[in-house]
Amino acid sequence: MNRSLEYSSIKPNIPIILASGSESRKQMLEEAGIIFEVKVSSTNEDEIKNQIASLPFREQVIHLAKAKAESVSKEYPENIVIGGDQMCVLGEKVLHKPGSKNKAIESLKLLSNQTHFQHSGVCVYKNNDCIWKYSETVELKMHALNEIEINNYVEMENPIHAAGAYKFESLGCNLFSFVNGSSFTVRGMPLIPLLNALRELDIIDLK
């Protein structure tokens, strides 16, 4: 389990698995009090991305989320499996997780004073079947950042594993002049629609 059975926790009616190694998605479910386990999918994402490259980004994130959840659901068919994916897009360019400080600086220079979009998809699987899926897009405008600000931010937060090279849940929110949409979606998962779905599917409740 990723959370101890604290007073504030919600024990699901069916065990939940998060099919993602994303610290941000894990953190959001923990903040919502959901008890779950993490099983990282072994899906070949690059292969899938090549196959779906012609689709709209909001559909691509659903396909990738489903692929991750399906691979884990095959191993744990009796569990509820949550899959998620996110794409940061500037124009038609996808800004992947930078992986290094130098690439993070490059990404932030591209985003400076520009409007871009965060597309986030999530799905729920049981018995190797997708029982719910959803995607959401947030529009963001970044401040005109100078080189010192960009370098300082990267040094302070080291956002090398974040889509777009910023962590919106912490210092990264200071980079923006305009955000149209949910902060949860910017962080990588449309949390409120997911919680609503889990409730409607009788997987979680406050009883």
Q: Rounded to 5 degrees, what are φ and ψ at 138?
A: -120, 135
In the DSSP assignment, the letter for residue 131 is E
The partner residues of 18 in beta bridges, in order of sequence, read: 38, 82
Catalytic-labelled residue, pool 46, 85, 129, 205: 85
Whether the Cβ atoms of residue 207 and residue 20 lie closer than 8 Å to each other = no
Whether the Cβ atoms of residue 61 and residue 119 lie closer than 8 Å to each other = yes
Q: Let me know if 46 is a catalytic residue.
A: no
Task: Centre a 10 Å sphere on the Cβ of residue 74 and count the other Cβ atoms it contains.
Answer: 12
> Any idea how long the chain is?
207
- Positions marked catalytic: 85
